[in-house]
Chain A
């Protein structure tokens, strides 16, 4: 029973990454109608930027948590300005293909310069060590990841669902022409939204840097799992993607305990089941 609690908690940690990444995907999809295949690549960039900040600029983890998403977010906005915006009006699939190509380029370039085996990033001193919870030894850093990503997810939800800016965003998704008629600069909002989604992925990258090796391909496989999460949850609602992210992390954690051989496939199997029962996903609108 104790082991079970431990696995639940561990699952929640993975769920944080799923939630942050699928949230970013949902935000981008809502506004741009694009599935951002480069999401795994920007997640990786977040981790790398944190590494550079520390090793070249001597800038610590806490600043990286703020700066890396901004830097990568700006990179994302440049991408949106120079490439993605030209796809407006074309079939959605071109957005998928374009971002796939961008992902290949980014990953290839990083692989070229930094090899494949990865770079080390140490856990910040303040979060080192662990606490004994009675049923498990919880590294402080892992606890921090869960709490922090939960806060970020809720803040994003609040920003989009409860603020004036969020209202504009949602309105622009529904009817861009009308919103433009109110004198709101819709293209700029789109750019900012893409930057926000990409920044969330980069933030997840910074969070994961001390846990995983900082590797050029760290996001490549993860993104496929996140796609499955997104299919299960549906991208219609912000809260939906947060909840499914955490929930699937926990389910995966439980699988690791009861039947570890299937823990890689369980998310995909769940996706199949959900599709058979409810083709639109758990919270999604029909696409």
Chain B
């Protein structure tokens, strides 16, 4: 049995340098968006999904655990942030914290339940758990069912930044995304990340080396879930609503697709994948009927012939780590 990703290069100074250069290029590109005439709301939405996909990738690409229920963290954080902002009238920064805290608690509970089973079972359990939450949110009064939480006030971040201005909002979202991204980057390159990769490659060996692999996997799950929650909280400011679509299983599927397209277990892959998929959704909106068929086809093509994803293929071609 081969693992999800092939030849991961070990962290050499050169790999580190490549990744930092790539990061700088990405940050510069994204920071210049408001000056290019590209529609900022589109990019903001893509950034939220990119962060979500990165968080998801932390779990699957480095921990080898394919969660099919990551929408539950996105949606839970979204609902809780939205509720905090609208009903409790908290300032934006506290609203985000409420969302992150909710995702944190949820990931501890669901992690405790799901981490007991491996492989395919883990995927099915996370899917079932997220479906359970979907039904709960559908019936819970505070989510307003199908109507969702609407018209969420954007307010002023730290009392200074007026988030109702698109450019200000854009940079706040961008900073949030970059912070989350750097954190994930840091985790991957930490000793903890190395152990995680060792577990993914060969769990029995890691156990025999004395690592309590379940604890490592649990921690990865909680980190991933909490960061996904951060993405969900940011998304509330962009969309100004929180709705059931964010907890539905099809959203979990989309996250998987983004990461797969960009490259499982690559650092920048999920970002590229998120932009590709969101762009596709926007520009194929006119085609309507065929979107799901196209998404399905991408899944099939990726799995059969393109398992490294866009970034994975590039990295492989140039023998670089990205």
Residues of chain A whose beta carbon lies under 8 Å from any beta carbon of chain B: 29, 35, 83, 86-87, 89-94, 96-98, 100-109, 111-112, 224-225, 227-228, 230-231, 261, 264-265, 268-269, 271-272, 275-276, 279-280, 287
Q: How many angstroms from the CA of A101 to the CA of B176 in the assembled complex?
A: 32
Does A108 contact B135, Cβ atoms closer than 8 Å?
no
> What's the Cα separation between A89 and B125 when bound, in Å?
24
Q: Say whether A228 contacts B128, CB under 8 Å.
A: yes
**A268 close to B299 (CB less than 8 A):** no
Instruction: Spell out B's residues near A (CB within 8 Å).
Output: 1-4, 60, 66, 68, 113-114, 116-121, 123-125, 127-129, 131-132, 135-136, 139, 249, 253, 256, 260, 289-293, 295-300, 302-304, 307
Which applies to chain B's interface (DSSP): helix, strand, loop or mixed? helix
A93 to B256, CA, bound (A): 11
Give the residues in chain A near B127, CB-CB below 8 Å. 224, 227
Q: Do B113 and A98 touch (CB < 8 A)?
A: no
Q: Pick the contact of B121 from A103, A106, A231 — CB < 8 Å?
A: A231
CB <8 Å contact, A108 and B296? yes
Whether B290 and A108, one on each chain, are in contact in the complex, defined by CB atoms closer than 8 angstroms, is yes
Q: Is the CB of A269 within 8 A of B299?
A: no
| Given A89-B1, A227-B124, 16 additional A-B pairs, CB 8 A | A35-B120, A93-B123, A94-B303, A96-B66, A97-B260, A97-B299, A98-B299, A98-B303, A101-B295, A104-B299, A224-B131, A228-B124, A268-B135, A272-B132, A280-B117, A287-B118
Nearest A residue to B138 via CB reads: A264
The CA-CA distance from A105 to B217 in the complex, in Å, is 33
**A102, A224, A261, A276 pick with most chain B CB within 10 angstroms:** A224
Contact (Cβ within 8 A) B4 A91: yes
Assess the A269–B113 pair: CB atoms within 8 A: no
Residues on A with beta carbons closer than 8 Å to the beta carbon of B295: 101, 104, 108
A287 touches B121 (CB 8 A): yes
**Contact A268/B132 with A98-B304, A100-B299 known, Cβ cut-off 8 Å:** yes
B312 to chain A, nearest CB (A): 14
By the criterion CB–CB under 8 Å, are A89 and B116 in contact?
no
Taking CB as reference atom, which chain A residue is nearest B116? A279
Known: A91-B3, A104-B299. A269 touches B132 (CB 8 A): yes
* A contacts with B: majority SS: helix
Are A279 and B117 interface neighbours, CB within 8 A? yes
| B221–chain A nearest beta-carbon distance, Å | 15
Complex Cα–Cα for A201 and B125 (A): 21
Q: How far is the CB of B222 from chain A (nearest CB, A)?
A: 18
- Which listed residue (B119, B129, B298) contacts A93, Cβ 8 A? B119
| Nearest chain A residue, comparing its CB with the CB of B305 | A86
Chain A nearest Cβ from B76, distance in angstroms: 16
Residue among B2, B124, B131, B307 having the largest count of chain A Cβ atoms under 10 Å: B124
Note all chain A residues with C-beta closer than 8 A to B260.
Answer: 97
Which chain A residue shows the least CB distance to B124?
A227
B117 close to A275 (CB less than 8 A): yes
Query: Are A104 and B113 closer than 8 Å at their CB atoms?
Result: no
Residues of chain A within 8 A of B128, CB atoms compared = 224, 227-228, 231, 268, 271
Minimum C-beta distance from B244 to chain A (A): 13
Nearest 3 Cβ contacts at the A-B interface: A101-B299, A104-B296, A105-B296
List of B residues within 8 angstroms of A89 by Cβ: 1-2
Contacts known (A94-B307, A268-B132, A287-B117); A275 close to B300, Cβ less than 8 A: no
A13 to chain B, nearest CB (A): 22
Contact B131 A91 (CB under 8 A): no
Contact between chains at B296 and A101 (CB < 8 Å): yes
With the chains together, A231 CA to B113 CA distance in Å? 12
Contacts of A100 in B (CB 8 A): 253, 256, 296, 299
Q: Which chain B positions have C-beta within 8 A of A264?
A: 135
Q: Please indicate the chain A residues that have their CB under 8 angstroms from the CB of B298 in the complex.
A: 101
If A227-B127, A268-B132 touch, whether A107 touches B121 (CB-CB below 8 Å) is no
- Tell me, in angstroms, the Cα distance from A269 to B113 when the chains sit together: 11
| Given A86-B304, A90-B1, A104-B292, A275 and B124 contact (CB-CB distance below 8 Å) | no
**Least distance between B132 CB and chain A CB atoms (Å):** 4
5 interchain pairs (CB within 8 A)?
A93-B60, A108-B291, A224-B131, A275-B114, A287-B119
Cβ contact within 8 Å between A231 and B299: no
